[in-house]
A and B are shown apart, each in its own frame.
Chain A
Amino acid sequence: MDSPLVIGNREFSCRLFVGTGKLPSSRLLPEIVKASGTQMITVALRRVNLSRPEENILSYIPEGVVVLPNTSGARNAEEAVRISRLAREAGCGNFVKIEIIHEMDYLMPDNEETIKATAILAKEGFVVLPYVMPDLIVAQKLVDAGAAAVMPLGSPIGSHRGLRTRDLIAMLIEKIDLPIVVDAGIGKPSHAAEAMEMGADAVLVNTAIATSVDPVAAARAFSLAVEAGRISYLTQKQQETLYAQASSPLSGLLSEEKL
């Protein structure tokens, strides 16, 4: 029996979070939510257009689903803080994903600025989910800064390369006492299952769903993969080993009863 994932006093039974940045139409969102069961949707505040309801992505997010605005476009902590405050003023709630990038080819997050922004925003009552390059020391500093979760990248945004940072993420899963949400690079449901199977608490998928030929079906596939990975994690907690281990152990043959 699994317990729900808790981030910022909100409980999530579905461990798939969905991004919206690259969707062909916001109108698909209700169907994506239905197909995936997702309870958290990220939106880039830079895309939120409050002046026209039909073009405002927020109006397509079903009630009860947590909106996670991100600070896409921020190049330093100061900008990320300002965008977060604007998001709260715009009615997006107090969850925020910190995304600070100032290199446009690989979109690598700036961990140092992210720690700074996290500290400021956590003090202001935000539920802060920082997107970072996986680094144990950085993650520990984020814990101290008041982060509500840590979002390490699997590989560069939109690259579909899967968990190229697997060993680094494993360190966070083992040592960090916050939910670990693997973000970026998850290109296939099998990548999502892999992240969950190794013990991640949730995954965030954007490009792979949004740019699929059928985003609704893709959302369903990712949801199933996340669930499978989670069940596998809960039931298969075994160490890998170089040596074979007999499925019918010899020790059974040598038990006292049989001697």
Chain B
Amino acid sequence: MKATEAFLPWLDFDIDGFVSRVTEKDVERVLEKEVLGYQDFLCLLSPVASRFLEKMAICSQQLTAKHFGRAILLFAPLYLADYCQNACVYCGFRVMNRFPRKKLSLEEIQRNGEILAEKGFRHILLLTGDAPAVTPVSYLEEAMSILSPMFDSLAVEVYPMTVEEYQKLRLVGLDGLTIYQETYDRKVYAEVHPSGPKRDFFWRLGTPERGAQAGLRWVTIGALYGLANPLHDAFWTAMHLMTLKKYYPEVEWGVSLPRMNPAEGDFVQKYNLPDKQFVQFLLAFRIFFPTVGITLSTRERPEMRDILIPLGVTKVSAESHTEVGGYAEHQEQVPQFEVADKRSVEEIKSVISSKGFDPVFKDWVRMA
């Protein structure tokens, strides 16, 4: 686990000390540079850089056009099950939340897949809670066998697996992985994950690397903003990404910046990532990583998504349901979080086109 080991020293870096010394001149200098180092990224995250948002936006827009063109990939999440053995204090699926849990049958998976394919999706992301006893790798294998003929790309956002397990799923069509560390702040991580296998910070930290070792084509990482100091999490996410990219250059690395939305339960956010700072962070990621994909989820409000589409985003989810089998089922399952952008795929497509971008549904060719 070379990349994970190489990342660990960054967890002790004095982020606040560095940021307190950043000046306007530093930010101006960074915006003139072509290749940025970690100090430059921290300058762009600093409060001082918020005065340069317009310049950062132009820079981000140009870099994105150069490396990704005017195309935005659309994908949809499909929740297969909401069983979970963790007690994450911020999540609607946590083990102590009492509601009727559900796991899709193979017929229901087929039906939900057909509906998503009918809407035009060719890339989907499969999600479950963290309950390998209920949704073991064999269940995911069966689900993918059903879905892979319908889609060009299948990715997962499920419990962390071993390299061998990811390899097993590759054989039935898995090509991508999304895994959020939630927070890189070890103290907060322990607090918000009081019980369950997710308590193991380091096992989760090594997950993207295990995905890369298994030969997955794309891996997206990120922090969940609202759990800990957002500036710290943004910096650590970038350093994690930087080390992963160094050791696994063949992987299409991506980053997402999800912000907390209301969920079942009574979690009160101690931290907040306001809109302006959220945009600043997203621009900073683009400028620091010109070739990395940036995903924008339906957690964001429509007006925010519309603003961000031309500024550096490359993948957006659309018409998402965050409850199990939400596309076909009539019964009301509990969503993992509230979707803020409830617009239809057609509406999102038309917004993307109106901004001079091409809404793309297919960006991979299934070879298996």
Q: Which A residues touch B245, using CB under 8 A?
A: 104-105
- Could you tell me if B66 and A158 are in contact, using CB atoms closer than 8 angstroms? yes
Known: A23-B70, A24-B70, A25-B353. A46 touches B364 (CB 8 A): yes
Known: A82-B367, A160-B66. A102 touches B249 (CB 8 A): yes
Interface: B275 (CB within 8 A): no
Give the CA-CA distance A103 to B253 in the complex, in Å. 11
Interface: B365 (CB within 8 A): yes
- Could you tell me if B71 and A22 are in contact, using CB atoms closer than 8 angstroms? yes
Give the CA-CA distance A22 to B69 in the complex, in Å. 4
- Could you tell me if B367 and A83 are in contact, using CB atoms closer than 8 angstroms? yes
Interface: B104 (CB within 8 A): no
Give the CA-CA distance A118 to B123 in the complex, in Å. 30
Interface: B362 (CB within 8 A): yes
A2-10, A48-56, A197-205, A218-226 - interface stretch: A48-56
Interface: A26 (CB within 8 A): yes
Q: Which B residues touch A21, using CB under 8 A?
A: 69, 71
Chain A 232-254 interface residues, beta-carbon cutoff 8 Å to B: none
Min CB distance A29 to B, Å, is: 11
- Could you tell me if A48 and B362 are in contact, using CB atoms closer than 8 angstroms? yes
Known: A46-B365, A47-B363. A207 touches B353 (CB 8 A): no
- Could you tell me if A211 and B251 are in contact, using CB atoms closer than 8 angstroms? no
Complex: chain A residue closest to B250, CB-CB:
A102
User: Number of contacting residues on A, CB 8 A?
Assistant: 30
Question: Which of B65, B250, B358, B364 is within 8 Å of A25, CB to CB?
Answer: B358
Give the CA-CA distance A75 to B122 in the complex, in Å. 21
A29-56 interface code vs B (CB 8 A; 1 in, 0 out)? 0000000000000000111110110010
Interface: A171 (CB within 8 A): no
Give the CA-CA distance A51 to B117 in the complex, in Å. 9
Known: A24-B358, A48-B362, A73-B364. A103 touches B69 (CB 8 A): no
Question: Which of B70, B251, B356, B361 is within 8 Å of A104, CB to CB?
Answer: B251
Give the CA-CA distance A73 to B175 in the complex, in Å. 12
- Could you tell me if B69 and A210 are in contact, using CB atoms closer than 8 angstroms? yes
B232-273 interface code vs A (CB 8 A; 1 in, 0 out)? 000000000000010001111100000000000000000000
Interface: A65 (CB within 8 A): no
- Could you tell me if B249 and A23 are in contact, using CB atoms closer than 8 angstroms? no
- Could you tell me if A49 and B361 are in contact, using CB atoms closer than 8 angstroms? yes
- Could you tell me if B361 and A52 are in contact, using CB atoms closer than 8 angstroms? yes
Interface: B360 (CB within 8 A): yes
Q: Which B residues touch A73, using CB under 8 A?
A: 217, 364-365
Give the CA-CA distance A85 to B357 in the complex, in Å. 30
- List 8 contacting pairs A-B, 8 Å CB cutoff, sorted by A: A22-B65, A22-B68, A104-B253, A158-B66, A158-B67, A210-B70, A211-B65, A211-B70
Q: Which are the 5 A-B pairs with shortest beta-carbon distances?
A: A22-B69, A24-B70, A102-B250, A49-B362, A211-B65
**A interface residues with partner B (beta carbon < 8 Å):** 21-26, 45-49, 51-52, 55, 73, 75, 79, 82-83, 86, 102-105, 158-160, 207, 210-211
